[in-house]
Each structure stands twice: as structure tokens, then as C-alpha cells.
């Protein structure tokens, strides 16, 4: 790992064993991109990689020189309108109405470690020798504005973290209307674009698109990262697959409005950008003030999609997630929501808890309905004190009784929302996000508090801290169930209304930071009506997130498969729920529901009193299995084997770091008859190690399992005769491979 500056050529080379990122100070002082990809040898001068040519209809920088045109030079901080006609990474509205800027090199510094981003989530280094950071300061001479471009290269990961800090060093107030976190110009567009999109209950579905001349983008204008699009995209060479080929992943560590964009110009070069969505964004900067963009993370892989994913898993699992729960196996929980919804009493909750304890469940979570005037979804939000009818002994009394059973206790909050039927709304109607004189839309009969106002965040903090500080709470499910509409803050002047979306998410981050610091023993799980804010920004504060409100095992195959391209298994909240499923009305076996959910943080979301003795016995076996293997399942190295987006089967596996243990999962969605023989080509094993499949006792060397394959053929491969084990729809199997004793 190193960052080298070659003074004669003015080239910077950031590299480790896996990746090289090379930039240079151009003739006009702007910062140019020369190379991003697999590690290459360092040399004194890389400027031969800068290709210049005279092209018709181009605007050129220097009189009489038709070669130097910003339209055709690869740039690190491009700005539209000064010869570059593609979308820019920065736009600055000045007092004379101009938006033209010319950011030129002023200075640079190289430091060990990685500085924190004030008020924002970001990756980090625990020791100075884990990372190096380059800060290149550019300056626009006319306005005095400085742009500090920060690049971090990690010792152990094929990743570059990038952000920009803007400082107004001039005498006039200016307005940032565009502030991208990352811009990457590449010399060709021979890539496929992969995005992870969908909608509520169908989040992070894999979508592939071809890149050609024009613009492809995804984003959110909902005030949160959204169910519709995840702030993560992949570009891959057409021949790249799970195991081989060149892949780049770009992830934005942010939970608000975002834009991820690919622009291919007429000469088929590619510009990638990621950052805050510029629509409805306008941030005023007075002299001396600064603005920090969110961090974008670029991961490079020459070992396919799987190599990219495992880099993100390790980086985000170890150097984005924080706190005492980062590396700890997660408790097996039961959540009462789909078991009772709002129809519960303290006695009912205790009955569920006792049954859960008998099964071996470790954590009881009380979901929505415990507070204020909360009888249904029309009241109570904003009043975080116990409803005395439902909880006569308060949260403290219930938590005491649960912990006396030998279980831990968790609690649901939706701190950003307020109901009209609440004491908070009656006292502070001005605390709503609402536009004066306009209709106020509701979502799920609720409204959003203006978290851009510090006094609002303080009020909710004090309420939550009082509950958490007085009760034995070890887990918090932090929900958020509606998008921002009629975005306006009565606390800000008209010229600052373009700041509300970003200030809102900064307020959310501030509340998370304060509560996680004050209650470090509590495991926080983020949730946004399921997967509406499943993003890296949330992972910084809460090491796991509820992946989707859709708990159907078959739908979860796609949701969890898509999620796995960026996010570690330890971050994926996954539960076994009742059947018929509450969203899909589909009936799947209890074993399949568990076989899907165990590749995540694992828990149950049902009423145990409605299960048979045989089903309860099966749950006990599932819990024993999960306790035995959860460290491997949550922190092992994931290998995707068959995609549920491509056929009737799906498969994946996890392998321990020492490669001595693996769990393989195979799922068949619809039953087949007289079908083909099937086998899986496993990955990630030691080719020289002998593995025993624990159920059958069969032994195979790793090279055989990976090259010849692991046979999964069953009764579907022919006719079913008497005595054979029949198959059915929604079938699944887990195979445990253990290295045979030497």
C-alpha cells in the first residue's frame, strides 16, 4: 500500500496489492484521471496515458491549440460549461448568476490512516498502517472556493474511498447546487451496468442494462435511499461472471436523496458519478463555511462479481459497521409483529416469550403499539412513553419480566414520525415537515418530524434515552415508514429550503450517533418499512437492517441474493414467519423458511402458540443448528452459485476463513418431474482438503467439489417410486461440509 507523488510528471499513484488509481495535475491545473484498475507497477511518469486529439466542434482551452479540450480529457472534478459538455461533478451558483468554475491545483498532502467525516457515516481505519489518505486541494481563483478531494487507499481491500469537502475561502456567499462525491472517467464503455431496484416488498432485484451513448441513472428523491433503488451499482465487462473478469462496484455511504449515473459520450468514453441528488439541493455557503459530501466507495475486482462482493462484505462488515456488535454473532430473536400486530396485552407477550424461551430463543422484541395513544396506525407516534392499558407495569416492568425468564428484551421505535393524535403534535404542529398553504400528504396515516431542526432531534433523543436508560433494553428496531413529501422547514429561510433534505438525514445521523454512544451495549437494527433505507449509511450506526417487509421464503431468495452483491450476511435481517405468508399468502415448509432465513441475522416472526408440538420441536432443532453455525453463517465468505433471477433453482454457500468448514444451500422453487440430474460447482474450498458431508458421510476433495461438482440430484430426476423421498414445491436443502481429520 502506498501513495506516491511524482513531482516531475505531477502524477499521483495510489495502490495496494490489488488496485491502482492514478491521477495527474493537468496543464491547466485541473485534476485528470489516468488509470483505475488492477495493480500496475509504479513509474515516474504516467502522462502518456493522457490521450489528446483535435476533434471538430470541440471547445478548446488554449488559443491556437486544438488538442487540449476538456470535452475529451478524463477529469476528477469536472464542471459543466467550461469546455466539458457532460454532466459535471460540481456546480456553484455565484452572486452574479454564473455557474462556471475552474478548480485548479493548489496543494496536496498525504497522511496515514483515514480522517472521520464530520457528521457523516464513512469507512474507517482502526490503525494508521491500515490506510493512506491523499488530500488534493483545488481552488477556483475567481470565487476563492476550495475543493478538497479526499482519496483513501486501504491496505487490505481493493477499494478507494472518495469524498469532497468544499470551503468558501472568498468574500461572497455562494450556493452549491451540485456536489458529487465521486466522478470516474473511463476510456471505454464496454461494460454492462447492474443495478438493484424494485419496490416495497420486492427490494434489490438485480437488473442488467447495456451501456451505450446517452445517460443511465438511478436515484431517489424520496428523502431516503428508498425501496425503489439502492445506492449501489456495478459495471462489469460483458464476459465477467461470478468467478472471473473485470468488475467495479460503486457504493454511496449515504441514506438520503442520491444519484448514481453513467454517461457515455459520442466517442464512447464513460463517466460514472455518485453523490447527493442535485434536484431540490441548494446549499448556501457563507465565507469561511464548509460543506462535506458523503463518501463513495469504489471496489475493483479482476475475479468477477464474487470477488467484488467479498471485498465489500469484509470492508463494510469490519470497517464501516462499528461497536461491540460488529464482530459478535447476533442473538436469535422473536418479534411479535406478525404474530399479534396491534392485538396484544402484557400477558399475551409473556406467553409468547415463555414459549420462545422453551425453544431456545434468546431475545424477545416488542414491536409497534406499546406507546402513547397507539391502538392502531392512526395515533401515538411521537409520544415514547408506555401505553398503561397495554403495559400496566410500563416498559420497565415488562423488560424485567422478560429478563427474569432468561431472555433479553428489545423494543421498536419509529422516532422520525408523528401522528396527529399525539401529545407531541398537539404541542408542536410546527415541527412537521410541511409546506405553508399546501396540502400535507400522509403515509400510513403518519407525518414526518422536521429532523433538520436540532430542537426536534433533542426532544426525540430525550424521550428515547429515558426509555432506554430506565429499562433493560438490549436491542432497538428503528423503523421509518414513509417518504418525505411537501419538503419544507419552517425553521429555515426561503433561500435555504434546498438544504432541508440533507439537513434531515444529518439529523437522523446525529440521533443515531448520540444514542449508540450513550447505549453501546444495545444492538440497533435499522428498518424503513422493510428495505427502504438498506444502505451503507445506516450500516455505520446499526450493524444490521431489516431486509424487507416481505418474509415469504421464495421472495426472500431474490431479495437476499440481490442484497448480497454489496452487503454482508451479518447485516441482513431475516426471519421465519407464519404461513400462509402475510404478504404472499403462500405456504412454504418450515424447513425452507429457516433455510433461507439462516443466511442472515435470523429470528422468528409468528405466534408460537399457534404451532403444533411437531412444529415447535422442529423450531428447537433449527435454533440448535443456528447457534452451532451462526458465526459461519453470518461472518463466513459468501459464494453465489445459482441465481434465482435466472431459473427455477438458487444456491449459495458460505466458507470459513480457514476453509475447513462450509454450508451449501440449494433451493428449488417449483417441483419438477422426470427432470435432469443436477450438481453444483462449489467455490472457495481448499482443493487439497478432504471434506466430509456430515449428513451422508460422503467424502470428497475440494478440487472435485469445485470442478466435477457436488451432486444435488434427487427424486425429481426421474419417476418417484414407492419408498423414495418425494420432493415438493419450495423445497430446500442444506449441506454441511467439514474438513476430514488429518
CB atoms within 10 A of CB 224: 26
Helix (H, G, I), strand (E, B) or coil at 556: helix
The cell for 348 is 399475551
Residue with C-alpha cell 446499526? 542
Closest CA to 532 of 181, 306, 229, 161: 229
Would residue 377 show up in a list of annotated catalytic residues for this protein? no
In contact, 136 and 31? CB cutoff 8 Å? yes
The dihedrals phi and psi of 186, each to the nearest 5 degrees, come to -115, 150
Q: Is the preceding peptide bond at 147 cis, omega within 30 degrees of 0? A: no
**Alpha-carbon distance values, 11 to 108, 158, 161, 185, 478 (Å):** 12, 20, 19, 16, 46
Total length of the chain? 742
**Gap between the Cα atoms of 456 and 443, Å rounded:** 20
Residue 306 CA, distance from chain mean position: 17
* Long-range pairs for 695-704: beta carbons < 8 A, 24 or more residues apart: 695/735, 695/736, 699/740, 702/659
Would residue 479 show up in a list of annotated catalytic residues for this protein? yes
In contact, 225 and 534? CB cutoff 8 Å? yes
Catalytic residue among 549, 552, 607, 714: 549
In contact, 713 and 678? CB cutoff 8 Å? yes
Cβ-Cβ contacts under 8 Å for 416 (sequence gap 6 or more): 448, 449, 451, 460, 480, 508
Residue 729 CA, distance from chain mean position: 32
Tell the burial category of 623 from Cβ atoms under 10 Å away from its Cβ (0-12, 13-18, 19+): buried
Burial 627-661 (b: 16+ CB within 10 A, else e): eebbbbbbbbbbbbbbbbeeeebbbbbbbbeebeb
**Gap between the Cα atoms of 565 and 567, Å rounded:** 6
Catalytic residue among 140, 479, 535, 714: 479
Closest CA to 69 of 87, 90, 48, 85: 85
**Gap between the Cα atoms of 612 and 334, Å rounded:** 17
Half-sphere exposure of 82 (CA within 13 A, CB side): 23
Catalytic residue numbers, as ranges: 479, 549
Amino acid at each position: 500500500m502506498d501513495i506516491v507523488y511524482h513531482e516531475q510528471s505531477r502524477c499521483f499513484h495510489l495502490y495496494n496489492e490489488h488496485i491502482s488509481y492514478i491521477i495527474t495535475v493537468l496543464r491547466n491545473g485541473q485534476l485528470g484521471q489516468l488509470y483505475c484498475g488492477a495493480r500496475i507497477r509504479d513509474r515516474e511518469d504516467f502522462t502518456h496515458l493522457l490521450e489528446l486529439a483535435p476533434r471538430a466542434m470541440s471547445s478548446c482551452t488554449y488559443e491556437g491549440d486544438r488538442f487540449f479540450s476538456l470535452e475529451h480529457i478524463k477529469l476528477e472534478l469536472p464542471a459543466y460549461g467550461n469546455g466539458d459538455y457532460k454532466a459535471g461533478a460540481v456546480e456553484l451558483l455565484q452572486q452574479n448568476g454564473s455557474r462556471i468554475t475552474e478548480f485548479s491545483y493548489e496543494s496536496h498532502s498525504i497522511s496515514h490512516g483515514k480522517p472521520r467525516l464530520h457528521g457523516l457515516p464513512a469507512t474507517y481505519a482502526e490503525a494508521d498502517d491500515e490506510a493512506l489518505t491523499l488530500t488534493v486541494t483545488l481552488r477556483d481563483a475567481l470565487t476563492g472556493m476550495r475543493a478538497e478531494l479526499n482519496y483513501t487507499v486501504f491496505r487490505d481491500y481493493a477499494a478507494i474511498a472518495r469524498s469532497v469537502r468544499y470551503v468558501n475561502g472568498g468574500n461572497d456567499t455562494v450556493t452549491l447546487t451540485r456536489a458529487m462525491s465521486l466522478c470516474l472517467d473511463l476510456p471505454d464503455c464496454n461494460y454492462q451496468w447492474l443495478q438493484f431496484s424494485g419496490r416495497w416488498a420486492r427490494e434489490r432485484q438485480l437488473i442488467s442494462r447495456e451501456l451505450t451513448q446517452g445517460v443511465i441513472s438511478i436515484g431517489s428523491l424520496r428523502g431516503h435511499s428508498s425501496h425503489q433503488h439502492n445506492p449501489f451499482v456495478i459495471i462489469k465487462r460483458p464476459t465477467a461472471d461470478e468467478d472471473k473478469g473485470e468488475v467495479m462496484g460503486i457504493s454511496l455511504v449515504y441514506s438520503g436523496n442520491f444519484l448514481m449515473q453513467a454517461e457515455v459520450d459520442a466517442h464512447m468514453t464513460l463517466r460514472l458519478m455518485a453523490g447527493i441528488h442535485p434536484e431540490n439541493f441548494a446549499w448556501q455557503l457563507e465565507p469561511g463555511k464548509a460543506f462535506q459530501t458523503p463518501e463513495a466507495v469504489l471496489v475493483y475486482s479482476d475475479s468477477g462479481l464474487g470477488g467484488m462482493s467479498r471485498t465489500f462484505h469484509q470492508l463494510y462488515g469490519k470497517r464501516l459497521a462499528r461497536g461491540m456488535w460488529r464482530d459478535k454473532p447476533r442473538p436469535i430473536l422473536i418479534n411479535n409483529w406478525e404474530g399479534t400486530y396491534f392485538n396484544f396485552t402484557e400477558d399475551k407477550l409473556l406467553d409468547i416469550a415463555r414459549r420462545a424461551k422453551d425453544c431456545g430463543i434468546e431475545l424477545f422484541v416488542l414491536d409497534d403499539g406499546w406507546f402513547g395513544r397507539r391502538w392502531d396506525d392512526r395515533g401515538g407516534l411521537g409520544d415514547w412513553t408506555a401505553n398503561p392499558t397495554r403495559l400496566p407495569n410500563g416498559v420497565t416492568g415488562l423488560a424485567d419480566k422478560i429478563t427474569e425468564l432468561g431472555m433479553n428484551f428489545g423494543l421498536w421505535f419509529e422516532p422520525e414520525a408523528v401522528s396527529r393524535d399525539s401529545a407531541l403534535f398537539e404541542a408542536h404542529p410546527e415541527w412537521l415537515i410541511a409546506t405553508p398553504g399546501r396540502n400535507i400528504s400522509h403515509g400510513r396515516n403518519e407525518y414526518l418530524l422536521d429532523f433538520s431542526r436540532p430542537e426536534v432531534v433533542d426532544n426525540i433523543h430525550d424521550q428515547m434515552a429515558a426509555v432506554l436508560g430506565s429499562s433493560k433494553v438490549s436491542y432497538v428496531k428503528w423503523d421509518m415508514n414513509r417518504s418525505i413529501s411537501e419538503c419544507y422547514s419552517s425553521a429555515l429561510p426561503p433561500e435555504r429550503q434546498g438544504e432541508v433534505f440533507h439537513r434531515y438525514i444529518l439529523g437522523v445521523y446525529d440521533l443515531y450517533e448520540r444514542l449508540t454512544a450513550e447505549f453501546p451495549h444495545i444492538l440497533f437494527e435499522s428498518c424503513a418499512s422493510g428495505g427502504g433505507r438498506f444502505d451503507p449509511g445506516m450500516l455505520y450506526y446499526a450493524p444490521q437492517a431489516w431486509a424487507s417487509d416481505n418474509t415469504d421464503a421464495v421472495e426472500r431468495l431474490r431479495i437476499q441474493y440481490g442484497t448480497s452483491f454489496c452487503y454482508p450476511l451479518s447485516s441482513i435481517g431475516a426471519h421465519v414467519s407464519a404461513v400462509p405468508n402475510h404478504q404472499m399468502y403462500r405456504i412454504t415448509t418450515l424447513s425452507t423458511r429457516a433455510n433461507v432465513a439462516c443466511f442472515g441475522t435470523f429470528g422468528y416472526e409468528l405466534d408460537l402458540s399457534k404451532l403444533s408440538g411437531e412444529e415447535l420441536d422442529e423450531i428447537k432443532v433449527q435454533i440448535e443448528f443456528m447457534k452451532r453455525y451462526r458465526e459461519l453463517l453470518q461472518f463466513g465468505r459468501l459464494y453465489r452459485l445459482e441465481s434465482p433471477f435466472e431459473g427455477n433453482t438458487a444456491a449459495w454457500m458460505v466458507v470459513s476463513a480457514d476453509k475447513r468448514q462450509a454450508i451449501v444451500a440449494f433451493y428449488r422453487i417449483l417441483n419438477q418431474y422426470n427432470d435432469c440430474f443436477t450438481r453444483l460447482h462449489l467455490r472457495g474450498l481448499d482443493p487439497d482438503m478432504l471434506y466430509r458431508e456430515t449428513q451422508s458421510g460422503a467424502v470428497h476433495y475440494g478440487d472435485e467439489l469445485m470442478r466435477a461438482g457436488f451432486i444435488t440430484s434427487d427424486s425429481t430426476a426421474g419417476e418417484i417410486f414407492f419408498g423414495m423421498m418425494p420432493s415438493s414445491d419450495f423445497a430446500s436443502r442444506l449441506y454441511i461440509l467439514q474438513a476430514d481429520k488429518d
